[in-house]
Homo-oligomer: A and B are copies of this chain.
Amino acid sequence: MDKVNIKKKFNLFKEYWTPKILGELNGNYVKIFKAKGEFIWHHHKHEDEFFLVIQGQLNIKLRDREIVLTAGEFFIVPKGVEHLPYAEEEAHVLLFEPKAVINTGEASSDKTVENPEWL
């Protein structure tokens, strides 16, 4: 593979909450997505999920508190923990998670992306 410039990859799509794959290693994907507005409450039964904000601000509601991430900050949502990501303004986020993860976890909605595309 070649190196990947993350910001350039964000210029290749506009839609929100649709993860794109940038890389693969050890059974995990490196993905990015654009956030704006509210996602849905969901959890991932077997997988921890790493969120790193590249630009803007992403909020992650948990049932007992809220995490506020700005550029250069990350949070790991442990498996089984319900979470609701939202962003008031457009935010750019990098994910790191096992290949099996589907964005809406155990929930299913019009935001579900079963087979993310490679960028």
- Give me the interface of A with B, judged by CB distance under 8 Å: 1-7, 22-26, 28, 30, 47-50, 54, 67-69, 72-76, 78, 96-98
Contacts and interface: CB of A to CB of B under 8 A. Distances in A.
Given A30-B50, A67-B3, A69-B3, A25 B75 contact: no
A23 B30 CA distance: 16
Contact of A26 (B28, B68, B72, B75): B28
Given A6-B72, A96-B96, 18 more contacts: A1-B75, A1-B76, A1-B78, A3-B69, A3-B74, A3-B75, A4-B73, A4-B74, A4-B75, A7-B72, A22-B74, A23-B50, A23-B74, A25-B50, A26-B28, A26-B47, A28-B96, A54-B72
B28 A74 contact: no
